[in-house]
Amino acid sequence: MQKIAVKKIAVFTSGGDSPGMNAALRAVVRTANFYQIECYGVREGYNGLINDDFAKMGPRSVRNIINQGGTILKSARSLEFKTKEGRQKAYENCVKHGIDALVCIGGDGTFSGAKIFNEEFGIKVIGVPGTIDNDIFGTDNTIGYDTALNTAMEAIDKIRDTATSHSRVFFVEVMGRDAGFIALNSGIASGALDILIPEKKDSLEELFATFRKSGERGKTSSIVVVAEGEQLGGIYDIARATKTEFPDYDIRVAILGHIQRGGSPSCADRVLASRLGFGAVVGLMEGQNCVMAGMRSNKLVYTPIEEAIRKHNEIDKELLAISEILAI
């Protein structure tokens, strides 16, 4: 591998945390160490860059974290970094520590910050996609998505037990204010009657028709999985409208919330994070800049950050069709 001039890098986690961020951090720190690159960890994302919260990290500083959820570096959505003054302070701190490049672990907000920082000050940046939402273009999966999916599926399985016992209808909200990947896949995996996602314009009439059909076929309990960002106006309103249409239904709402962001990462997320953390450091060594490391069809690829933010992974239409065919 041809080495180029990255001697000192800084790594941070930013935006909503996701299971596997620690595994990615570990991979960055240990790969850097392997190639004799000095590595600093920055606490609380961009806030740490602004507030000069840097700490040198060696291979032992990331021991016993591959299995831990959350992020030992902490995370934040920095408002100050959105200002020119904030970014100027961040730049001055990078210069003070002699940082050549930043490894930015996070989602699209994190990458937008990295892109503007790179354009304004010329510091090299490379992104590692860490978000449970799986809404980043340039990688088949983001770090944390698989774990979140399994968490959602297990929770819905439990809800199904009580739904069946009481012949109830449950509306279960899962995370994803802009993306329906968690809803669609956890919904299919848990046998949901219907799945409402931001990418698909549903109507109450369609939902009611699905309920009617399922009633005719003898179904006595159902689960409807609702992504946070669905377009029908909020889970409680949907539940209320359903009660008005079907007064006999015994309806409950369950919001899974932040349990989906926590917990020990799955095997798939640990391996993905290890490959992408490694890929980020190697990418910098090979001269990559302002790109995101991702895995597509099991291959490490680099996608311009601009593209990763602008484009979106499409919801698989076949999966949507399958969910409808199998539900009733």
Q: Which residues does the annotation mark as catalytic?
A: 133
Which region, judged by CB under 6 A, interacts with ligand F6P, from 52-60, 175-183, 278-286, 304-312? 175-183
Distance CA 228, CA 178 (A): 8
Size of the site for ligand F6P (CB under 6 A): 10
Q: CB within 8 A of 161, min separation 6: which ones?
A: none
133 binds ligand F6P (CB under 6 A): yes
CB neighbours (10 Å) of residue 190?
A: 20
Of residues 17 and 194, the one with the C-beta less far from ligand F6P: 17
Residue 22 in contact with ligand F6P, rule: CB under 6 A: no
* Site for ligand F6P contains 45 (CB under 6 A): no
Cα–Cα distances (Å) from 67 to 154, 185, 229, in that order, read: 19, 24, 30
- Tell whether residue 53 is a contact of ligand F6P (CB under 6 A): no
Give me the least distance between CB of 223 and ligand F6P, in Å please.
19
Shortest distance, position 179 Cβ to ligand F6P, whole Å? 8
Query: What is the distance between the alpha carbons of residues 230 and 209, in angstroms, rounded to a whole number?
Result: 18
Smallest distance from ligand F6P to CB 149, Å: 12
Q: How many other C-beta atoms are found inside a 10 Å radius of the C-beta of residue 276? A: 31
Q: Is 184 in the site for ligand F6P (CB under 6 A)?
A: no
107 binds ligand F6P (CB under 6 A): yes
Q: What is the DSSP letter of 266?
A: P
Contact stretch for ligand F6P (CB under 6 A) within 172-180, 185-193, 213-221, 280-288: 172-180
Site for ligand F6P (CB under 6 A): which residue of 75, 131, 142, 323?
131
Q: What is the 3-state secondary structure (H, E, C) of 162-219?
A: HHHHHCCEEEEEECCCCCCHHHHHHHHHCCCCEEECCCCCCCHHHHHHHHHHHHHCCC
Contact positions with ligand F6P (CB under 6 A) in 63-102: none
Other CB atoms within 10 Å distance of the CB of residue 154: 15
- Token pair listed for 302: 């680099």
User: Of 151 and 222, which CB lies nearer to ligand F6P in the complex structure?
Assistant: 151
26 part of the interface to ligand F6P, by CB under 6 A: no
Q: How many residues does the chain have?
A: 328
| Residue 39 or 227 having the CB closest to ligand F6P | 227
Q: Is 199 in the site for ligand F6P (CB under 6 A)?
A: no
Residue with tokens 């311009």: 304
Quick check: 283 binds ligand F6P (CB under 6 A)?
Answer: no
Pull the structure tokens for residue 251: 């309806």
Print burial letters for 22-45: b (CB count within 10 Å at least 16), e (below 16). Answer: bbbbbbbbbbbbeeebbbbbbbbb
Stretch that binds ligand F6P, among 47-55, 128-136, 216-224, 286-294 (CB under 6 A): 128-136
**Least distance CB 208 / ligand F6P (angstroms):** 27
Residue 227 found at the interface with ligand F6P (CB under 6 A): no
> Closest distance between ligand F6P and the C-beta of residue 132, in Å?
5
Would you tell me which residues interact with ligand F6P (CB under 6 A)? 16, 107, 131-133, 175-177, 228, 261
